[in-house]
């Protein structure tokens, strides 16, 4: 298969480069604008998701899981039914209305087998909810290892994203000419922060 692009994303400054073979760039039947928008959207999306969750606040957003992010609702040695209940009620009712659970796929798989005190699974497999609250999975959430914060629960609308500089795209005609390619670089500046730390609670694993 002919490689039509290569690219990378720099997480801190949100810069992305895509290289296209010139045969595609010069093909009138090839919708280059649509292709580039989709390519940049995928790459920026992955980088932004990781930054909004795990960013340190230094040259990148203040992540939801950072020390200046969500409040710790419960600390647990292992994730048990009672720990999930405690996390749920650590969030005040004001924020529980629109709250969701956020976790890694592997954590979600473990919670699917977790049962309550009467022996029933806490995970509703019909609609992927826990205590009637949606579960969202993402590979950017950490696994339940020592000191990690593998589960977040809260109203994510209180995490604000600010566009410091809109997406800009520049064409690089000469840089990759020796390879028969044209480069396209995209750059944007974003910031993010949980403006109400009490709106989201996290379960933290004991160290």
Task: Kindly list the structural domains of the chain, giving each domain's residue range(s) and its CATH number in brackets, ordered by start.
Answer: 7-57+160-191 (3.30.2400.10), 71-158+196-205 (3.30.2320.10)
CA–CA separation, 100 and 155 (whole Å): 7
Regarding beta strands 100-103 and 151-154, do their DSSP bridges make them parallel or antiparallel, or are they unpaired? antiparallel
Q: If you search the block for the tokens 């670089």, which residue do you land on? A: 185
CA–CA separation, 181 and 194 (whole Å): 41
Model pLDDT, residue 63? 95
Whole-model pTM: value is 0.78
Model pLDDT, residue 54? 95
Model pLDDT, residue 15? 63
Model pLDDT, residue 138? 96
The CA–CA distances, whole Å, from 4 to 24, 61, 180, 185 equal 8, 32, 11, 15
Model pLDDT, residue 10? 36
Model pLDDT, residue 5? 31
What are 53's two structure tokens? 């969750």
Q: Which residues of 121-138 are buried (b: 16+ CB within 10 A; e: fewer)?
A: ebbeeeeeebbebebebe
Using an 8 Å Cβ cutoff, are 151 and 99 in contact? no
Please list, in sequence order, all residues whose beta carbon lies within 8 angstroms of the beta carbon of residue 116, skipping any fewer than 6 positions away: 81, 122
Model pLDDT, residue 137? 97
What 3-state class would DSSP assign to 72? Answer: strand
What pLDDT tens digit does each residue of the chain (207 aa) get?
Answer: 223 333 333 334 456 778 888 887 778 888 888 888 888 878 788 888 999 999 998 888 999 999 999 999 999 999 999 999 999 999 999 999 999 999 999 999 999 999 998 999 999 999 999 999 999 999 999 999 999 999 999 999 999 998 877 777 888 888 888 888 888 888 878 889 999 999 999 999 998
């Amino acid at each position: 298969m002919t490689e039509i692009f290569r690219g990378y994303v720099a997480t801190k400054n949100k810069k992305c480069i895509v290289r296209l073979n010139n045969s595609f760039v010069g093909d009138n039947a090839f919708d280059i604008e649509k292709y580039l928008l989709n390519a940049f959207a995928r790459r920026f999306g992955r980088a932004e998701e990781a930054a909004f969750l795990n960013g340190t606040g230094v040259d990148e957003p203040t992540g939801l899981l950072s020390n200046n992010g969500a409040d710790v609702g419960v600390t647990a040695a292992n994730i048990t039914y009672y720990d999930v209940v405690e996390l749920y009620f650590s969030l005040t009712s004001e924020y529980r209305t629109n709250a969701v659970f956020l976790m890694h796929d592997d954590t979600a798989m473990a919670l699917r087998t977790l049962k309550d005190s009467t022996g029933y699974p806490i995970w509703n497999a019909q609609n992927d909810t826990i205590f009637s609250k949606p579960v969202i999975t993402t590979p950017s959430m950490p696994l339940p290892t020592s000191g990690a914060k593998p589960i977040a629960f809260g109203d994510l609308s209180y995490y604000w994203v600010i566009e410091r500089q809109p997406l800009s795209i520049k064409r690089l005609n000469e840089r990759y000419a020796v390879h028969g390619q044209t480069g396209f670089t995209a750059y944007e500046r974003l910031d993010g922060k949980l403006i109400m730390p009490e709106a989201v609670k996290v379960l933290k694993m004991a160290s």
